Each structure stands twice: as C-alpha cells, then as structure tokens.
Structure 1
C-alpha cells in the first residue's frame, strides 16, 4: 500500500490527479488506516468528487483512531461539499478553532445570523476573513447559496464555440459520462468559465465546488486546478473586503497550491521572492499555460492595471475578477 500511497503523493504534485486518485484507491483497498483515508478524501475533493469525498469524510469522523487534524480535514470536506446536516452531526465532538470558523461559515451561508454571532463569540482568534464577514452579516451577505453549476448544458454550449480538437474530444468524453484520461493544458474560454461559476454571486462553499468541478472537467490537470483555486481565494478576499497584498496572498495559498501543482506554487513563490511583478510584460504576453495565466493575473491585480491586455484569456479573467470589486464597492487594495 505504501508504494501506491507515496506514488500518489508525487503524482498529485506533478498535477497528475487522475492517476493519483487511482493509486490512492488501490492503497485504501489494502490498508484503510486514517492517514490513507485522509489522502484519498483530499484527492477526491481536489478533483470535484464531492459525494465520494463526503463518504470518506464520514468514515474518518466515525472512527475512534482518527487523529484530530484528519477529523478537521473531514469537517472541511463536509463544509465544501455543502453537507450541512452531516456537518452539524459531528460538530459537537470536534470543536477546534478551525471547525468553529467552518461552523460560522455554515451559519452565514444558511442565513442563521444569530447562531453565527454566538459561534463567532466562541472563537479565540478569528481570522481576518471571518471577522470581516461578521461585520457585514447584520446587513445580510450578498450571495446566492444555491448557485450549483450544471456541467452538461455548459459543456454543450462550449461545443458550439469551435473548440480545438483535443478540447472537443475532452468535451465529448464528458458528455458521454466519462472522465477523460488525457489532460488539456491550454487555457480556453476562461472568461466564459469564470462567468459561469461566479455569476450570480455564489456562497464560498458553492464557489469552491463549482470551481473545482469545472476546472477539473475542462482540463484535468493540476495547473488548471491551481489556477481555479487561486481564483477562488481571490474571490473570498474580495467579497470579504480584506484587501489584497501579493505577499500576504502568496503566504496564504502556496501550501495548498503545492498539492495541486508544484510548478504553479514554485512560480508564485519565485515571483514574490524576486519581486518579479511587471504588469506591462504580463499585459503583452501570450499565455501558453495555466501557470503563466495564474502569475499574469496576480501581477495585474497587484499593480491595479488599467490598460489593455493582449491575451484573450488573461484579459477576460482579469475582467471577471474586477467585477468582484464592483460588487463590494471597493477596488483591490495593496493593504492586506
């Protein structure tokens, strides 16, 4: 089992998530210890298999020998999957700072504002994001908790957009109900994809599900998943009105990006460390992969770029992201 387990870890960092999932399934068939189940659950979540991830989370939470940090991961999975009933069933036994914050989020997303305030008062050191959301909660949060993207009709619409041959093949496999084995590495119709996910304004857990499902469906690769996760974290910061600092943002996301695409995580870390932020160069670049799209978008946001952007995918992604500052009445700020 350990060969499959270790290989899965390596494959996931290389962005080969379908293969990583296959190996983790083999590992758990041999050894269903909590550490193996935890990795399987995280991988299921990373590729948008939220029903499977929920089943694995429940197994972890029901076991007496599951370490607390694995149970916390399982509670996060129930939150991201939108499984509120299961979340509350296990919450009483697992009240850490992290699960308390998740509970506050569940209350906010289900419009239980009084309960959210009660749980918030139990937090010792609330995060800036939670604190900012709670300041807004009295006015009700401007989001749509039921915005679940239906992938099939969206894929059918994309088929009418003249996709490149490899993308057309991938879309055909999706319509046949198959998970494509090959990865499509090139950004395509990113503006339409982001508009589908983030309009109207989804709640955070809903945005996480839709982002993960669609980026995995249309690419299957770790770089695309890392770009999607980056977009999601920008969305959170924007709607919570906590401001944007490239350095602080990188500190928050690099560790989770490593498990999706080591290449993207390293590129972001290098960009921050070397202060390699040139918006003119980014705006004139031809985007060839999702890592370049990620760093290019963050460069434009960090510099509050207001000029033309040559590449269509980068231009449309930046356009969609800037809409979020319109929703909050606040532009991206360099003050975190």
Structure 2
C-alpha cells in the first residue's frame, strides 16, 4: 500500500507499506492504519525478505506495541513483544524497554541493571539517562538522579523534561533555590504547562505567592490546564484575592468538576457567607469532605443535636465547644446586656434582623449608603445582636461585611474581629493569645496583611500614648484591621482607650466583653 511521503515520515512508516489482504477493510473503514495491521503486514514482509530495511521498521513498531501494552498494564504481553523484537534485531533498545518494564513492576534493582546495560551499549542515548534518572528518583536517590538528568540534557539541549525532573528532585531534597533555577531553565527550553505548574507549586510552598500567581497565569496563557487553575485559586485565596479565587473555582466546577474543586469552592463560598451555595458544592464533594459539609450545614439548619452527634465523629473539640456555650448561654447573654455598647448603629440592627437576631439581607441592602465609620458600627452591632450564638455571630459578620463593602478586605476584617470577639466573649482569652490566633488566621486568608501585621508587631514597642498621638482614622478596612491588632498588642485597659476614635470604640466593645 503506497503511503504519502509526508505521512510516512511523520509516522515512521515505509512509503510502500505491506498490508495483508484481509486487513485492507480495516484501513479503509477507519481511514487510518491501526498498529496491529502495520505489525501483521511487516511481520509477513519480513518472513519473506529478511533485510535490515524491513527489520528496522518491524522492530520500531514492536516497541510501539510494547509501549501500548505497558500503558495498559498488560505486562506479560509486553514481555512477549520484547522477545519478538530481540529475535529480529537486538540492540540497546531491548535493555532500555526491559528496564521500563521492570520499573513498572516495581523491581527497581533489575530495572537499574537493564537501563545501565542499555547505556553501556549506547552512551549517547539521552532517553536512557533520563529514564535512569526517573528510576533513581523513585528510589529517592535524588543526588544520583540529578546527575543522570544532567547527562540527558547535556546530550540533548532541546529536551526540557530532564530539567523539569531535576527541579522535582531538588524540591524533594529541600533545595528550593536549585529547584527554582531548574524549572526556570526548563521554561527557557520549552514552555510546557507542567513546568509552569511545578514552578508555581514551588513558589506556593515557600510562601512566594505573588510569584506563584504570575507563573500560574503565564501557564494558563500558554495552555489551559485545570491543575494550574486549581492551584491558582489557592494562591489567590492566600493573597487575599478571594473574589478572583471564587471566580476561578466556579469556572473549574463548571468545566472540570472534581471532589477537590467542589470542596474548595464550598469553603470559599462559606467565607463569603454564601452558606446555601457552599452546602450544595460540599455535598457534591462527597464523603471525603463530610466534615466541611456538616459544619456548613450548621449555618443553614442551625443547632441540631443529631447534626452535632454526626459532626462529633470528625471534630469532637468543636462540638464540645458549641455544647459548652449552650450551657453558658444565660451567663454570656447577661454580660452582653450589662455592657455599655458604644455604637449608635445598633438601632439599625434592630430594624434589619429577625426575631432570633439574624440579618435580613434585603433589609441590609438599604444601608449601603452609610459612611465608612457607620458601616463598621453596623457590622459590630450585627455581631452583638446575635447574642451568645457563635454560628449566628459569624453569619452576621460575614454577610454584613461583604454586603456593605463588597471587597476582599471585608473578609480579612470580619475574620479578625470574629476571632477577637469569640476569644473575649466565649473563652476569656488574654490579648496575646488572641493576637496569635489572629496572625494564624490572617496567614490563611490574606498573607499580605499577615506580613504587615507581623512586621508591625515585631517593631520596637512605642508607648500607648504615642499610639494615640500618631493615630489617624483609617479609611480602609485593611488599615482598620492593622490599627486594631496594634492597639490590642498594648493590652490596653478601658481607661487607656480613646473612645472618640473608631478603633477606640471597637476596643471598648472588646474590653467590655
């Protein structure tokens, strides 16, 4: 059967391909030549004309068939094909592919022997060094693996995979700078999506989230891969770019759904106070993420003893916390009623909450015109009006903050205030303990703000008088969050706060708890 020269070249076929008569219908029906048809034709041709020409083609396609069996885990069939190839033409490839077979079978010792035999027969076989490197990598012999990858790249400077795997080996060995250099060098050779993915993951693991975002976005511009988008969503979330992370996860759940995507989308929606939507996605995430599903179900159904019993299997400490608070409800609510609440916006809260103190979003929408200070007052008031119910407090904080401000900083602010409020109201914690928790939470929801807060707290301590002398009213949520953390680090008393200021009013609430 004559083959067009360009097709023959691209598929490594002879321009006149021998095909059995009985196989001809398979070619015309499928409009392509199946591998088994090629092999049967070449075997028949070689049986009548044992020349090097036909032997080279036959062995080449034997090894193609071997790879097919290997990928399908048909190991005995793969072994038989190797022996057929050896009987036709024995060279370094026989030991190379036997090495791959042993590696798949988990027999690393024999795999290494075979790959080294292959390289002894052909010292310039760059794929041999590459696969030997992969084998040593599996054996966790990272330094030796790196040497093999280097040899493979030295022989073929256009082959980027050895550099990629070098980066992996360095990464596993904790040599992060070397891993970064390897990945970046690989990208100069070939812009492959998996290299962008590995480099971005490296940056995430060493907390260089800004660089990770840049690399992931570059990778997606080269080729959209759901793995890159998934990791980008994580990066954006850590950077405090929650609106962007939410959008990425929504697109992933629509086009490339998986249990991991549904889980991350559900957790992100919980941050936004979108509890019903979060519950739907966490249900789709399945049993693996049942704990997250049950915790969000609390926000939708409210307290339910059967729900707590189920959740107790996953997080007994959290359930014990909720049950303890239930027993202390009267004492906590007495404290709240007897405190002097400084925000006049509490009057608005009475108008926009239902009989149990839950914010009615349709009513809250009428207050988006408020000034910055008034919005903060309303957020604090809506937490206060929820009484001794921690689920309702968080619910009101999340929904009020996001509706009134509609930006990423709203999440950082309400999460920080929630930790402070819970720590004082429910656990009577010292400010130093609370600040440690705040920093831990900020490192998850906004690492940039975490770094600013950490730096602020590491600076040489001024006096509280100096704090008030230098104080200016914040105009953004991030500024207010940092001011509040800084003020609490002084462990102030009620007599040491300036109640005329916004941060002073918030501090008064916290101290009165």
Same fold (TM over 0.5): yes
Instruction: Note if 1:189 corresponds to 2:378.
Output: no
Task: Report the CA distance between 1:108 and its aligned residue.
Answer: 5.0
Describe how 1:209-220 pairs up with structure 2 within 5 A.
Answer: 209-220=395-406
Describe how 1:122-141 pairs up with structure 2 within 5 A.
Answer: 136=328, 141=332
**From 294, 297, 300, the counterpart of 2:484:** 297
**From 411, 427, 438, the counterpart of 1:253:** 438
* Residue correspondences, number: 265
Task: Report the CA distance between 1:219 and its aligned residue.
Answer: 1.7
2:511: which partner in 1? Answer: 322
1:142: which partner in 2? Answer: 333
Deviations 1:77-116 (A, max 9, x none): 333445445x8359548613xx21233344456x5x5xxx
Instruction: Note if 1:267 corresponds to 2:492.
Output: no
1:156: which partner in 2? Answer: 366
2:96: which partner in 1? Answer: none
Aligned mates of 1:222, 1:33 — CA distance in 2: 26
Distance 1:40 1:226, change over 3 A: same
Instruction: Note if 1:35 corresponds to 2:260.
Output: yes
Distance 1:203 1:94, change over 3 A: closer
Task: Report the CA distance between 1:33 and its aligned residue.
Answer: 2.5
Aligned mates of 1:59, 1:106 — CA distance in 2: 26
Distance 1:149 1:24, change over 3 A: same
Aligned to 2:357, the other structure's residue is in SS state: coil
Q: What is the TM-score when the length of structure 1 is the normalising length? A: 0.67
1:279: which partner in 2? Answer: 464
**From 302, 307, 318, the counterpart of 1:102:** 318
1:122: which partner in 2? Answer: none
Aligned to 1:22, the other structure's residue is in SS state: helix
1:119: which partner in 2? Answer: none
Distance 1:210 1:93, change over 3 A: closer
1:309: which partner in 2? Answer: 498
Kindly report the root-mean-square deviation, in angstroms, between the aligned alpha carbons of the 2 structures: 3.2
Aligned mates of 2:395, 2:434 — CA distance in 1: 21
**From 281, 295, 298, the counterpart of 1:76:** 295
Aligned mates of 1:42, 1:255 — CA distance in 2: 17
Task: Report the CA distance between 1:238 and its aligned residue.
Answer: 1.1
Aligned mates of 1:251, 1:95 — CA distance in 2: 28
1:88: which partner in 2? Answer: 306
Distance 1:288 1:83, change over 3 A: same
Aligned mates of 1:244, 1:277 — CA distance in 2: 20
Aligned mates of 1:267, 1:154 — CA distance in 2: 32
Any conservation in 1 of the 2:383–2:394 contact (CA below 8 Å)?
no
1:121: which partner in 2? Answer: none
Any conservation in 2 of the 1:223–1:263 contact (CA below 8 Å)?
no
Instruction: Note if 1:25 corresponds to 2:250.
Output: yes
Task: Report the CA distance between 1:53 and its aligned residue.
Answer: 1.1
Deviations 1:120-150 (A, max 9, x none): xxxxxxxxxxxxxxxx47x665389932112
Any conservation in 2 of the 1:211–1:232 contact (CA below 8 Å)?
yes
Distance 1:292 1:89, change over 3 A: closer
Aligned mates of 2:262, 2:463 — CA distance in 1: 43
Aligned mates of 2:426, 2:312 — CA distance in 1: 26
Describe how 1:218-257 pairs up with structure 2 within 5 A.
Answer: 218-246=404-432, 248-257=433-442
Aligned mates of 2:402, 2:420 — CA distance in 1: 19
Distance 1:42 1:278, change over 3 A: farther
1:12: which partner in 2? Answer: 237
Aligned mates of 1:149, 1:3 — CA distance in 2: 38
Task: Report the CA distance between 1:157 and its aligned residue.
Answer: 4.1
Deviations 1:285-305 (A, max 9, x none): 222432321222133233215
Which blocks of at least 5 consecutive residues in structure 2 are unaligned? 1-225, 337-354
Higher relative contact order, structure no. (Cα contacts within 8 Å, ≥ 6 residues apart):
1
Which blocks of at least 5 consecutive residues in structure 1 are unaligned? 114-135, 164-185, 325-336
Structure with more helix by fraction: 2
Q: What is the TM-score when the length of structure 2 is the normalising length? A: 0.46
Any conservation in 1 of the 2:409–2:478 contact (CA below 8 Å)?
yes
Task: Report the CA distance between 1:19 and its aligned residue.
Answer: 2.1
Task: Report the CA distance between 1:266 and its aligned residue.
Answer: 1.4
Any conservation in 2 of the 1:263–1:291 contact (CA below 8 Å)?
no
